[in-house]
């Protein structure tokens, strides 16, 4: 993809982001002045997954992969105290000891990521992402008396700009192998997520964690993904969500391994670290990298044709390059 096309996509994306951000605040800017006084827009992403499904490992490996540009033209930056926490978790993953502690029932972790890119001679934030991580038990179990955690979760889902649903690859493997308990846990998890997400019209990324455990299904990764998709589509609620709602919102299925294909092994139903394993995460950046384009795509679809064409024309004007 050429530099001109990349700049055009970035320009259009920023203008759409500003349009959404200002429309939320009751200010609809003219396309010709949308970037004149850039308020950095912030999008809220809510991540759901049962305890032990791999939310913490995904978050840690994802940030480590995205904290440098790596040829993408952008990178992600967290406040320093959050960077320290994420680095601590990553060291725990790499060490021979136990895995990092995940979210417990009633706990909510919130991170703020700034998407940084080069603007002229400076590197500046162009989008901020509020990343909220909730334990899925709040969706599957009754709330504790006097607790407001479940209500806060449902409110956050309603206010989110995008949703990430964590599907535990271990439960997928167990279900595929005919383990009734594994299938039951997978079904309950999906039913709870689908029920909470059904009222939303925001993009959804279903992330299959522990993808390395599913290597045994087939040598070819695309074939493995087809096998897993077929299994998930056999579950009534998940199938209906995808078939009914994919026409009006973006729904993705993303396989990830936060540790790589040669770091962990399934031993007696437990995922354990290999003594000589190689830590090499794969696809962990895809979920967050897809969030902003998916949000912008939904915004674009919601705009009338005249406004959309005016914004795209302004983006082309701003990214026009001379012969030099």
Residues 287-305: tens digit of each pLDDT: 888 877 787 776 666 666 6
In order, the DSSP letters of 195-207 are HHHTT--S-EEEE
Q: Considering only the top CATH level, what class is 40-299?
A: alpha beta
Q: Which of the residue ranges 26-40, 68-82, 290-304 would you say has the lowest mean pLDDT?
A: 26-40
Burial zone of 260 (CB within 10 Å; 0-12 exposed, 13-18 middle, 19+ buried): middle
Helix and strand numbers (H, E) in the chain are 11, 9
CA distances from 263 to 22, 179, 188, 277 (A): 46, 24, 29, 4
Closest to 264 in 3D by CA, of 285, 253, 280: 280
Closest to 299 in 3D by CA, of 127, 152, 130, 114: 127
Q: How confident is the model at residue 38 (pLDDT cuts 50, 70, 90)?
A: low
Whether pLDDT at 37 is above 50? no
CA distances from 238 to 153, 195, 222, 235 (A): 20, 10, 20, 6
3-class secondary-structure state, position 3: helix
Supply the pLDDT for residue 4: 36
3-class secondary-structure state, position 77: strand
| DSSP label at residue 302 | H
pTM of model > 0.85: no
* DSSP H or E run through 49: strand 42-49
Mean pLDDT to the nearest integer, 19-30: 52
Supply the pLDDT for residue 257: 95
Domains of the chain, by residue range, sit at: 40-299
**Tens of pLDDT along 199-256?**
888 889 999 999 999 999 999 999 999 999 999 999 999 999 898 887 777 889 999 9
Supply the pLDDT for residue 1: 35
**Tens of pLDDT along 85-139?**
999 999 999 888 888 887 766 677 889 999 888 877 788 888 889 999 887 778 7
Distance from C-alpha of 199 to C-alpha of 196, rounded to nearest angstrom: 7
Distance from C-alpha of 103 to C-alpha of 34, rounded to nearest angstrom: 40
Residue tagged 């997928």 (tokens): 172
Supply the pLDDT for residue 247: 74
List 278's β-bridge partners, or say none.
Answer: 262
Distance from C-alpha of 258 to C-alpha of 271, rounded to nearest angstrom: 13
CB 266 within 8 A of CB 174: no
């Amino acid at each position: 993809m050429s530099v001109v096309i990349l700049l055009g996509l970035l320009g259009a994306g920023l203008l759409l982001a500003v349009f959404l951000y200002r429309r939320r605040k009751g200010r609809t800017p003219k396309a010709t002045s949308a970037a004149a006084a850039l308020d950095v827009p912030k999008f809220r992403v809510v991540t759901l997954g049962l305890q032990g499904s791999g939310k913490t490992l995904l978050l840690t490996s994802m940030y480590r992969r995205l904290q440098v540009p790596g040829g993408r033209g952008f990178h992600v930056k967290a406040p320093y105290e959050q960077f320290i926490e994420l680095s601590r978790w990553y060291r725990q993953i790499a060490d021979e000891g136990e895995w990092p502690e995940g979210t417990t029932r009633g706990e909510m972790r919130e991170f703020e990521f700034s998407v940084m890119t080069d603007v002229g001679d400076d590197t500046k934030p162009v989008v901020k992402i509020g990343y909220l991580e909730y334990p899925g038990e709040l969706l599957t179990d009754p709330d504790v008396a006097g607790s407001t955690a479940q209500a806060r979760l449902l409110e956050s889902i309603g206010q989110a700009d995008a949703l990430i649903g964590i599907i535990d690859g271990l439960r997928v493997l167990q279900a595929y192998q005919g383990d009734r308990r594994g299938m039951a846990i997978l079904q309950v998890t999906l039913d709870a997520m689908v029920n909470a997400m059904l009222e939303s019209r925001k993009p959804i990324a279903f992330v299959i964690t522990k993808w390395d455990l599913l290597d045994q299904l087939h040598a070819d990764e695309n074939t493995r993904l087809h096998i897993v998709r077929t299994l998930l589509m056999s579950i009534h609620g998940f199938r209906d969500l995808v078939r009914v709602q994919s026409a009006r919102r973006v729904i993705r299925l993303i396989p990830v391994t936060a540790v790589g294909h040669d770091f962990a092994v399934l031993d007696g139903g437990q995922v354990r670290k290999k003594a000589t394993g190689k830590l090499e995460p794969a696809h962990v950046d895809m979920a967050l990298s897809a969030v902003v384009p998916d949000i912008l795509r939904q915004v674009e679809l919601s705009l009338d044709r005249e406004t959309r064409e005016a914004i795209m024309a302004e983006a082309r004007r701003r990214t026009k390059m001379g012969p030099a």
